[in-house]
Amino acid sequence: MLRRAAARAGFTLLEILIALTVVGLVLGNIVMVMRSSSDAHDDETSRATLELQLDQTLDRIVLALMAASSESLEPGASAPAFHDRMEYMQSLGVNNGKLVLGAPERIEMRVDQGEIIWIESPGEVGERLATWSRWVRKFLEGEQPNGRDDNGNGLVDESGLAFVLEGTQVTVMLSLERKDPGGRTVVYSRTAIVHCRND
């Protein structure tokens, strides 16, 4: 009797294989859940980064144009025309009854690079420039290059950064686009209305 009890004390090969299969399935499910959670986190981080960049860029543009003299805005064509760049000079105040303006500045979209660039003293020796945003769409969200107003805003084939001038008011429209880690295209768009200084 002792010999039979000793022989039955271990596990059979079949029992070990079943246990390993169950452990493998459980570990596989845990890995899939963790990977899915990690991908969702990466996707959300990518979207949040794009949305933050959109908000920061639009805020910079709005602050720059709020301090601009409406007399200095170029190009001066009014709505329904749009422009993918705006030149201006900031109003620094009045000295002896005369308006004092800062150096010329320009905000422009560089379509080939998908960037928004700020330039101080464009074309001059002391020119300075900074990239304010990347991932700018070639065309505003909903717009196609087909000669029609696809997104219903009264403009035709407007670029990813579009300025519309109406008197001392500038409407700024911006669309950014980026692929998330899952390969899906994410687009965020915003519009802001700026009232420039009427000195």
User: In the chain, what are the domain boundaries?
Assistant: 52-195
With left for phi above 0 and alpha for psi between -120 and 50, is residue 18 left, alpha or beta? alpha
Q: What integer best gives the mean pLDDT of the chain? A: 83
Place of tokens 């960049």: 53
Strand partners, 173: 162, 191
pLDDT for residue 61: 93
Would the pLDDT of 38 be above 70?
no
Query: Residue 8: which pLDDT band, with cuts at 50, 70 and 90?
Result: low
Would the pLDDT of 58 be above 90?
yes
The model's pTM is 0.74
Would the pLDDT of 107 be above 70?
yes
Would the pLDDT of 60 be above 90?
yes
Q: Is 102 exposed, middle or buried (0-12, 13-18, 19+ CB in 10 A)?
A: middle
Could you please report the per-residue DSSP string of 4-26? HHHHTSS--HHHHHHHHHHHHHH
Distance from C-alpha of 108 to C-alpha of 133, rounded to nearest angstrom: 11
pLDDT for residue 174: 93
Counting Cα atoms < 13 Å in the Cβ hemisphere of 139 gives 15
151-183 pLDDT, tens digit each: 878 787 888 899 988 888 899 999 999 887 778
Of 8-12, 13-17, 35-39, give the range with the top mean pLDDT.
13-17
